[in-house]
Amino acid sequence: MVTQLKERLYQVQSKNEALLNLGQGLNTIVCLPTGSGKTHVARMIIEELQSAAGSVRVLFVAHRLELIIQARKALESCRVDFALVQSLPTNLSTYDLIVIDECHHAAATTYAPLFKVSAVVLGLSATPIRLDGRSLAPQFSKLIQKAQAHELIEDGWISDIRLFVPEVLIETELNTAAQCKTANTPIHLAAAIDEYRKHANGLQGVTFCTDRQHAADTAQAYRSIGIAAVNVDGSMLPAEREKIYDRFHSGEIRVVCNCELYVEGVDLRGVDFIQVLRPTESLVLYFQMIGRGMRLGAKSLILLDHTSNWDSIGLPTEERIYTLTNGKDCATSSTSTVTRTRSASGEVFVDEAEVTALKISLVEYDYGKRIQQKAHAAKLVAEGGLSSEAIGKKVGVGRTTIRKWHPDYRQFDTSEQKACAAVLVAKGDLNCEAIARTVGVSGRTIRAWHPDYRLRAKPQHGHIPESGVILTEKELNMAGQLTLLF
């Protein structure tokens, strides 16, 4: 039996506006923060439609089995059919209303059949944007956003956040191979355990890892200190994942180290901390990870972020205005504030201008050090002549962070890079990777510019090889001047 929840004002407002839009045949997204009751709003809408016209047929669609299982429990008072988007029924034309959970995925081709029938579509999402920048306007006509996360925190409907950032961050290129290699090291595994002991010792939570091996190794690291931890990923059978899910809810398992699961929509109860060991550029992914711990509870969520995600993306408590056409990005408010507080190491001095976009109840991080690092990096960037990696080493951060702080910075401009590479190729005593590091590009770029280059295959002294890209007269002159540098 589903517990009857008291309807909240923002839920009633969302329901009423959605019913008005759906009644006009307009596909509509209901956007509410994680843990605020999107599925409950869907139930309110379905119940009202079916009470007014009992013949309304409803199909609920999601992309993961866990979401379907969870929705069936929440919607058992309604007459609803359920389907995975990977195996849609053939009788789609018989439905009057289609509900899509995590509808920011709806731009994918697998969802296309849902929009080719006469049924009106209700989408649910806390983050209706996509990393690839694709708009949701082709699929939906209206977006309803009746509450911000910080408002619901202030009203006591969802948990607030306490952010802890370790001294050593996982700084890596944002591709799977580099992430896995960099994150899954003894240093970072030890840091994960150390941060847990300092800020979440004995609490129950979820750790987000880069790949299956990383999740398995992290779980083993927790078990080595006596913490009941398991790893979970999409390769496991649904029944096996369900058992882990139940053991976590019973308290038998204290830490779940997962890869690609428990990210979107899954209602995990009893989450006291979230640990992020996975760098990402995706606002959707980062917010969904944090959202697993923001559901209403007596305590604040402890967020252990071992990456720069919190700095480059922000937190879910930041005010954001979503639209159907804002694609990858969305408008943000600059009215939020950050509380000054004292951490275990002493006073944390917060630069309001530096963190104006963040609105969280407590920040346990040495912002003073971060501001000094940014100032030092800005000075080196202004001086030029160093690669992002070299600047990062001098400042004490990774090259990825430098690129996030200064996305337009280049050690040389492209013309200078090409000319410099041409000079080094002419000398012939460095391999492509060494030339790439010197010039500030990738080895792949050097090979594209000079596909015939081989180490020690020295051309005539002073001759610029004709292979690869064609250099302009300006670039040739630059190359002649840059010869003095080597």
Report DSSP letters for 195-210, one per residue.
HHHHHSTT--EEEE-S
The pLDDT, as a whole number, for residue 297 is 61
Spatial contact of 67 and 60, defined as CB atoms under 8 Å apart: no
- CA atoms of 227 and 193, how far apart (whole Å): 10
Spatial contact of 313 and 358, defined as CB atoms under 8 Å apart: no
The pLDDT, as a whole number, for residue 25 is 95
Domain count, the chain: 4
- CA atoms of 163 and 359, how far apart (whole Å): 11
The pLDDT, as a whole number, for residue 246 is 86
Ranges under pLDDT 70 in the chain:
1-5, 172-180, 261-267, 296-299, 326-371, 400, 410-416, 455-486
Nearest to 62 by CA among 45, 75, 44, 48: 75
**Judgement on whether residues 424 and 444 belong to the same structural domain of the protein:** yes
Q: What is the CATH number of the domain that holds 262?
A: 3.40.50.300
Spatial contact of 337 and 154, defined as CB atoms under 8 Å apart: no
The CA distances from residue 273 to 15, 207, 270, 306, in Å, are 31, 8, 9, 13
* Strand bridging mode 229-233 / 301-305: unpaired
The pLDDT, as a whole number, for residue 413 is 54
**Judgement on whether residues 32 and 128 belong to the same structural domain of the protein:** yes
Phi, psi of 400 (to 5 degrees): -60, -40
* Strand bridging mode 346-348 / 341-343: antiparallel
Nearest to 358 by CA among 162, 170, 141, 88: 162
Which residue, 146, 180, 212, sits at the end of a domain? 146
397: containing domain: 375-405
For 251, the token pair is 């308290």
**Judgement on whether residues 401 and 422 belong to the same structural domain of the protein:** no
Spatial contact of 292 and 266, defined as CB atoms under 8 Å apart: yes
Which residue, 119, 146, 173, sits at the end of a domain? 146
**Judgement on whether residues 195 and 307 belong to the same structural domain of the protein:** yes
**Judgement on whether residues 28 and 121 belong to the same structural domain of the protein:** yes
| pTM over cut 0.85 | no
**Judgement on whether residues 420 and 382 belong to the same structural domain of the protein:** no
**Judgement on whether residues 304 and 205 belong to the same structural domain of the protein:** yes
**Whats the size of the chain, residue-wise?**
486
Nearest to 205 by CA among 71, 305, 109, 323: 305
Identify whether 424 is part of a domain.
Answer: yes
**Judgement on whether residues 191 and 72 belong to the same structural domain of the protein:** no
**Judgement on whether residues 94 and 174 belong to the same structural domain of the protein:** no
Spatial contact of 475 and 419, defined as CB atoms under 8 Å apart: yes
**Judgement on whether residues 62 and 130 belong to the same structural domain of the protein:** yes
